[in-house]
């Protein structure tokens, strides 16, 4: 007997038939003697529809009204699941953010959860009642509905699991777990049985968007064991856990990639103190997040070449910002390149092993792939390459680190 939070995303509750299927799955856990709280997203497509209503009404919309409107999607699904469970003879009731309450800060549209009141829910769980909780929403200090930002239902589920002291938080999605790399790129990709919070965070930051980043951060902080699994099968998924729970640590757990990167090189930037701040300050002011930064020695001894990456979506804005400052910054030329990809290898094992990067460089060199930029963190090595080599590089690294399925 365990206490479990189950979270189902939009495709899992896409229509009344799917919601009935979720009810059967919940009933199975209840019949097995588990105490179950369920967190739901809105029906897939519903939140987009509501957001479109809002933006049609007002371009610079009041986020408080946005929240009141878009929070209705989850209100519908939780009511319907409670009904479906009751129809199967399982005691259940729906809970809205303001009823629990799930208290958040007042940042409407992307609020952060501050507390979850669980006294009443605990009592009901102990009596065998299923608590069906609306994800993505809470109540702010102004007594108005807040929402947590897109994908926020994952965070709701983890916060609820922490508050309830749940044994596990199962996140049901349309994939059956976290993979060593994208199975569309290589059939040798394997489902990972256990992965650490840190690795999961790094995976998410480079494009493997299985869980909302904030939910993983919260799970790590609150030590909530999270399982990512499929709502279409009965197979176990991937457990996201503390490093202590993993006995045999892989050197590298996964290979991720992102094609959403662009590269800017400023040629012959005057090599003087304060120049980096002068360049990146205006970009930050415009809300542009810069990622990898490399400074090379230029042919010219008085100057340096500066290269950095940023999201493709921000490239035009960054370019015009920097060109407007060319005289002030004193660089000779700005080169922009969209045809790049970032490839990352991730693993907590690399903390205690030397030679991880070397193996990466060798594997790529063997395939004739040129590395443009390198950046490393404690458990991740990322490189930038020409986009056309993406699949080749991913496959080569997957093999080089011994991740290939038998």
* Single residue of 11, 44, 48, 75 touching a second copy by CB under 8 A: 75
In our burial notation (b when 16+ CB lie closer than 10 A, e otherwise), range 44-71 reads bebbeebbeebeeeeeeeebbebbbbbb
293 binds a second copy (CB under 8 A): no
Q: Are 343 and 255 in contact (CB under 8 A)?
A: yes
CA distances from 67 to 47, 92, 109, 292, 325 (A): 11, 26, 6, 35, 39
* Single residue of 28, 53, 223, 235 touching a second copy by CB under 8 A: 53
94 binds a second copy (CB under 8 A): yes
62 binds a second copy (CB under 8 A): yes
Render 199-257 in DSSP notation, one character per residue.
HHHHHHHTT--SS-HHHHHHHHHHT--EEEEETT--S--EEEE-GGG-SS--S--EEEE
Residue with Cβ nearer a second copy (122 or 298): 122
Binding part of the chain for a second copy, among 84-92, 212-220, 262-270, 336-344 by CB under 8 A, reads 84-92
CA distances from 177 to 236, 239, 286, 373 (A): 8, 8, 36, 31
Interhelix angle 63-70/72-87, nearest 10 degrees: 20
* Single residue of 79, 109, 183, 207 touching a second copy by CB under 8 A: 79
Beta strand 293-297 with 261-270: parallel, antiparallel or unpaired?
unpaired
Residue with Cβ nearer a second copy (65 or 271): 65
Angle among Cα 326, 296, 206 to the nearest 5 degrees reads 90
The reply to whether omega before 58 is within 30° of 0 (cis) is no
45 binds a second copy (CB under 8 A): no
Binding part of the chain for a second copy, among 60-68, 224-232, 355-363, 389-397 by CB under 8 A, reads 60-68
* Single residue of 84, 204, 208, 255 touching a second copy by CB under 8 A: 84
Nearest distance, CB of residue 173 and a second copy, angstroms? 23
Residue with Cβ nearer a second copy (53 or 339): 53
Nearest-Å Rg of the Cα atoms of the chain is: 24
Residue with Cβ nearer a second copy (42 or 279): 42
Tokens representing 89 are: 């003879």
83 binds a second copy (CB under 8 A): yes
Residue with Cβ nearer a second copy (76 or 293): 76
Binding part of the chain for a second copy, among 27-35, 92-100, 148-156, 227-235 by CB under 8 A, reads 92-100
333 binds a second copy (CB under 8 A): no
Q: Are 133 and 123 in contact (CB under 8 A)?
A: no
Beta strand 137-139 with 145-147: parallel, antiparallel or unpaired?
antiparallel
* Single residue of 3, 21, 25, 50 touching a second copy by CB under 8 A: 50
78 binds a second copy (CB under 8 A): yes
13 binds a second copy (CB under 8 A): no
**What single-letter DSSP state applies at residue 273?**
T
Q: Are 102 and 145 in contact (CB under 8 A)?
A: no
Q: Which of residues 134-153 bind a second copy (CB under 8 A)?
A: 143-145
* Single residue of 11, 44, 48, 86 touching a second copy by CB under 8 A: 86
* Single residue of 3, 64, 168, 317 touching a second copy by CB under 8 A: 64
Residues 355 and 263: their CA atoms lie apart, in Å, by: 27
Binding interface with a second copy (CB under 8 A): 16, 19-20, 50, 53-54, 56-59, 61-62, 64-66, 68-69, 71-72, 75-76, 78-80, 82-84, 86-87, 93-94, 96, 98-99, 143-145
């Amino acid at each position: 007997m365990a206490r479990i939070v189950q979270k189902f995303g939009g495709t899992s509750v896409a229509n009344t038939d799917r919601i009935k299927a979720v009810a059967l799955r919940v009933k199975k856990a209840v019949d097995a003697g588990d105490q179950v709280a369920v967190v739901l997203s809105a029906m897939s497509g519903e939140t987009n529809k509501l957001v479109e209503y809002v933006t049609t009404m007002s371009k610079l919309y009041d986020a408080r009204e946005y929240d009141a409107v878009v929070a209705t999607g989850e209100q519908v699904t939780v009511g319907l699941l409670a009904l479906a469970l009751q129809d199967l003879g399982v005691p259940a009731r729906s809970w809205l953010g303001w009823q629990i309450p799930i208290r958040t800060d007042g940042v409407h549209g992307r609020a952060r959860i501050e507390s979850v009141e669980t006294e009443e829910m605990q009592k009901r769980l102990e009596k065998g009642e299923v608590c069906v909780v609306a994800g993505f929403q809470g109540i702010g200090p102004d007594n108005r509905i807040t929402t947590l930002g897109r994908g926020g239902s994952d965070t709701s589920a983890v916060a609820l699991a922490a508050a309830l002291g749940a044994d596990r938080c199962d996140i049901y999605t349309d994939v059956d777990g976290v993979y060593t790399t994208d199975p569309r790129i290589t059939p040798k990709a394997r489902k990972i049985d256990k992965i650490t919070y840190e690795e999961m965070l790094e995976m998410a930051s480079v494009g493997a968007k299985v869980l909302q980043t904030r939910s993983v951060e919260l799970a790590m902080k609150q030590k909530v064991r999270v399982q990512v699994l499929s709502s279409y099968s009965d197979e176990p998924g991937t457990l996201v856990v503390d490093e202590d729970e993993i006995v045999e640590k892989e050197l590298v757990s996964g290979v991720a990639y992102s094609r959403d990167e662009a590269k800017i090189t400023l040629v012959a930037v005057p090599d003087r103190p304060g120049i980096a701040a002068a360049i990146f300050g205006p970009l930050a002011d415009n809300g542009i997040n810069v990622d990898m930064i490399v400074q090379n020695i230029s042919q010219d001894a008085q100057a340096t070449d500066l290269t950095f990456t940023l999201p493709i979506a921000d490239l035009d804005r960054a370019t015009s910002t920097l060109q407007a400052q060319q005289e002030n910054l004193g660089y000779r030329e700005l080169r922009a390149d969209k045809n790049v990809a970032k490839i990352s290898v991730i693993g907590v094992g690399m903390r205690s092993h030397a030679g991880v990067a070397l193996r990466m460089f060798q594997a790529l060199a063997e395939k004739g792939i040129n590395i443009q930029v390198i950046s490393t963190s404690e458990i991740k090595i990322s490189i930038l390459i020409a986009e056309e080599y993406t699949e080749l590089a991913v496959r080569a690294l997957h093999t080089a680190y011994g991740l290939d399925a038998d």
